Amino acid sequence: MKPEFQLSFAKAQTKFFRFLADRFFAERYGHRAVVLETIAGVPGMVAGMWIHLKSLRQMKTGYGPKIRELLAEAENERMHLMFFIEIAKPNLIERCLILAAQAIFWNYYFLLYICSPRTAHLMVQNFEEEAVKSYTNYLEMVKNGDIENVPAPTLAIDYYDLPANARLADLIVCVRADEQRHAHANSRFADEMSSDKLPDKSTQLIPPRAAHTDAESQRDAA
């Protein structure tokens, strides 16, 4: 696939999924976050698994930092879900949608990653940029009073080291920063693939959340 086509394809896919999300959820941002975070946790796990298998097949070193970063992204998205499930409970239709979306999207992303991993990372970069916009809109509605600024879940307070009286707005700011970081990471992965290089060990490792040792036990329990 030509690089220009990869980018166009990734953008078209993102527009299509954004259109569906806008139609289905409109401004129900809590529900939107829950359903979309169940999908957001898929790409990092699929890509991490595939690169792990690639490393095994090729019997080569150098893939470890990228595998760990991708799996950490998937774990971070799963935590977003754990936070927002405290804010909004999905209805029956949304639960069915989650099941169908996972079955379809896992297989779709897996095939895309095998055929064109660069396109897959560009698509995730675009998804993440859309997620930043959605969380910005969500934050605006909370600040305007259109959505109640409820207390942040304890799990999120521990995970992000937030003050005990943190609210939903504080949580959204933290989650949005994570999404921005994922967008940068996937952009970097796509760039590396255009030069067809192995990941540079010195620059790949995502800063570990060293300050969250207490939160780790919470994460394990979640």
Give the footprint of Fe ion on this chain (CB under 5 A): 37, 40, 77, 80, 128, 179, 182
CB of 83 to Fe ion, least distance (A): 9
Closest-CA residue to 106 (of 120, 93, 96, 90): 120
What is d(CA 177, CA 174) in angstroms, rounded to the nearest whole number? Answer: 5
Q: Are 132 and 183 in contact (CB under 8 A)?
A: yes
CB of 39 to Fe ion, least distance (A): 9
Question: Which CB sits closer to Fe ion, 62 or 181?
Answer: 181
CB of 123 to Fe ion, least distance (A): 12
Supply 215's token pair: 């939160």
Question: Which CB sits closer to Fe ion, 62 or 88?
Answer: 88
CB of 4 to Fe ion, least distance (A): 25
Q: Spell out the alpha helix ranges (H) of the chain.
A: 3-25, 29-58, 64-84, 92-115, 117-143, 154-160, 168-194, 201-204, 213-221
* Angle, vertex CA 181, rays to CA 4 and CA 7, nearest 5: 10
CB of 121 to Fe ion, least distance (A): 13
What is d(CA 124, CA 129) in angstroms, rounded to the nearest whole number? Answer: 9
Question: Which CB sits closer to Fe ion, 40 or 190?
Answer: 40
DSSP-derived letter for residue 144 is T
Question: Which CB sits closer to Fe ion, 50 or 84?
Answer: 84
Question: Which CB sits closer to Fe ion, 86 or 128?
Answer: 128
Question: Which CB sits closer to Fe ion, 36 or 112?
Answer: 36
CB of 111 to Fe ion, least distance (A): 21
Supply 99's token pair: 């099941």
Q: Are 66 and 50 in contact (CB under 8 A)?
A: no
